[in-house]
Amino acid sequence: MKEVKRGDVIIHSYKKQIIAISVAKKDVYVAKKPVELSNDWQTDGWRVDTQYIVFPNPIITSNYMEELLELQPQTSAPFNRLGRGNTGYLFEATREMYEFIIAQTATYPQNENALKQALELVNQIEHPQNKVSEVEVVMELEAFKANILSVDKLAILLKETKPHKSQKTEVEVLYRSPYLKKMVKRMANGICQMCGEKAPFYDRNNEPYLEEHHVKQLAKGGSDTMDNVVAICPNCHRRVHVLKKDEDIIILEKMAKQNNNRYQRLLAYIEKMQNEQSINSLEEDMLQLMELQNEDSPNTNRSN
């Protein structure tokens, strides 16, 4: 408790569910016991004033215990090696745990408003001199979600998500879809779409590191769509921006077109599979209905 500082994120767990997060509004301080607490508590103690944000859909910790055990710190952790909660009131957590929990919580649409509040609050405290725009908060939330989606869910969500308008604060914030960014990297499969070499290293999520590049820049009217993006290595990315060679642009335009063609084929396949599943489900329902009708119909073959 004595180590809590202003801006710290606190993850709240109750009955094996992560139900909320809060952000410390100022450093911990000594305070008198609240009058509503029982006499079992000491008169003086530590107090942290927070802004508390509840998740409408809690996260059941047992469903993600393997990931949480891997991400939690080595000491003062909330869970023991068997996945049971350690005895205590407040434990340490890592930034990776926080990001994982936010990502899982973001998969529930009911939690979206709560998560936006949380991200806005964290950004306000971490960057007090810079006003964080709504577009930046939306992109951060979508980035968390994009990291845990399967390819088919990512493709559908990319299709259904409408581009957000750019927003002007001190500088104009151009919306870049995290779903599009993740999708084009999945298509590149760890290979630079310009030089054809493998990604130079893996990021902290153990994925090949490539960078998204808009063939026609957003600031110059380019679209944030699959037919205008490629995934390239950092070296090629710098080359494109520094040299601005026509032959490089031609290569990237060709790759962006191929990306869009592959994406459209993937969407068509996913939609076909969804339709077939719907038809199969309808046929199964009809068969079950017919069986029930047969069971309910009177027996016409009577013996004399």
SS3 assignment for 112-149: HHHHHHHHHHHHHHHCCCCCCCHHHHHHHHHHHHHCCC
Which residues are CB-neighbours of 80 under 8 A, at least 6 positions away? 86
Joined together, the tokens standing for residue 230 give 């490629």
pLDDT for 285 equals 64
pLDDT for 297 equals 46
Which residues are CB-neighbours of 66 under 8 A, at least 6 positions away? none
Instruction: Measure the CA dihedral 44/45/49/52, to 10°.
Output: -120
Of the candidates 225, 276, 268, 230, the residue with the CA atom closest to the CA atom of residue 249: 230
pLDDT for 171 equals 46
Taking only the tens place, the pLDDT of each residue in 123-141 is 655 555 455 455 665 666 6
Of the candidates 141, 76, 150, 147, the residue with the CA atom closest to the CA atom of residue 109: 141
Asked if residues 43 and 15 have their Cβ atoms less than 8 Å apart, the reply is no
Instruction: Give the separation between CA 254 and CA 155, rounded to whole angstroms.
Output: 21
Angle between the N-to-C axes of helices 112-126 and 134-146, in degrees from 0 to 180, rounded to the nearest 10 = 120
Low-confidence ranges of the chain (pLDDT < 50): 129, 132, 167-171, 297-304
pLDDT for 187 equals 92
Angle between the N-to-C axes of helices 246-296 and 178-188, in degrees from 0 to 180, rounded to the nearest 10 = 100
Domains and CATH numbers, the chain: 8-150 (no CATH), 178-256 (1.10.30.50)
Taking only the tens place, the pLDDT of each residue in 145-172 is 777 677 887 888 788 877 655 544 444 5
